[in-house]
Amino acid sequence: MYKFASSVLYSVLQKFGKQLVIINKEKVPEQPYIVTCTHSGYVEVIMLALSLYPTEIHYMAKKELFSKDWSDKFFHSLNAFPVDREKPGPSTLKTPVKLLNQGKSVGIFPSGHRAEAGEAPLKRGAATIAVLSNKPIIPAAFEGPKKVKSIFTFRHKSFIKYGDPINPSEFPSDMKKSEKIAKVMELLEERTNTLQKEVTYIANKANKK
């Protein structure tokens, strides 16, 4: 279902005014990778996926979304997999690492919940997954509509800007795992904050025209 839904939405948004502006997509490498993004609503989940089309992204999502049989099937069909944010266990890391080792890409919103940018610190999980899988993290920031229905009014553009990859495989071989995780977290926090400021400025400037 992911492939069908993303293809339809991508075609619609491209046809009606190119509602998605993607900046620095050339920084995104070939699969597999981890992509992170600022998170204030559900719009950026959709737009992040469309910005990387036709690559399929496997999203970490809170386990509550999978509580019913129909919702479990629905979200799994959209390449989402559940995580327990309150009591994260080994599977929280095992599933995304396995996906990455299978050549698939994983999407993580490090704030862990829908919050205004900057309210929640970046979580350790994304950095740990990057180090365990030895795959790069591609930081991204979003600016645009807050409600999904706003996408289809075709009045407001969405902006996504990508930053330089953070690749643990390029760290010194004598670095300890804990040191690598700490370094990834530091770089991710720094680059994400910078990207958010930059993409917000770009969006505000574009909307004033």
Q: Which CA distances in Å does 159 have to 2, 170, 202?
A: 22, 29, 8
Mean pLDDT of the chain: 84
pTM (predicted TM-score): 0.87
The predicted structure's pLDDT at residue 129 = 93
Q: Which CA distances in Å does 143 have to 52, 82, 108, 192?
A: 16, 26, 17, 13
Locate 31 and state its tokens.
């699969």
- The better pLDDT of the pair 85, 26 is held by 26
Q: Which of 89-93, 117-121, 132-136, 184-188 has the lowest mean pLDDT?
A: 117-121
pLDDT digits (tens, 9 = 90+) for 160-190: 999 999 999 999 999 999 999 999 999 999 9
The predicted structure's pLDDT at residue 86 = 66
C-alpha to C-alpha distance for 69 and 175, rounded to whole angstroms = 44
Q: Over 90: is that where the pLDDT of 195 sits? A: yes
Q: Over 80: is that where the pLDDT of 33 sits? A: yes
The predicted structure's pLDDT at residue 60 = 86
The predicted structure's pLDDT at residue 119 = 40
The predicted structure's pLDDT at residue 87 = 64
Which phi and psi angles does 90 have, rounded to 5°? Answer: -55, -35
The predicted structure's pLDDT at residue 24 = 97
The predicted structure's pLDDT at residue 152 = 66
The predicted structure's pLDDT at residue 52 = 94
Local structure of 62: helix, strand or coil: strand
| pLDDT (average), residues 138-150 | 86
- The better pLDDT of the pair 164, 2 is held by 164
| pLDDT (average), residues 29-55 | 88
The predicted structure's pLDDT at residue 26 = 96
| pLDDT (average), residues 74-99 | 80
The predicted structure's pLDDT at residue 113 = 43
- The better pLDDT of the pair 188, 93 is held by 188
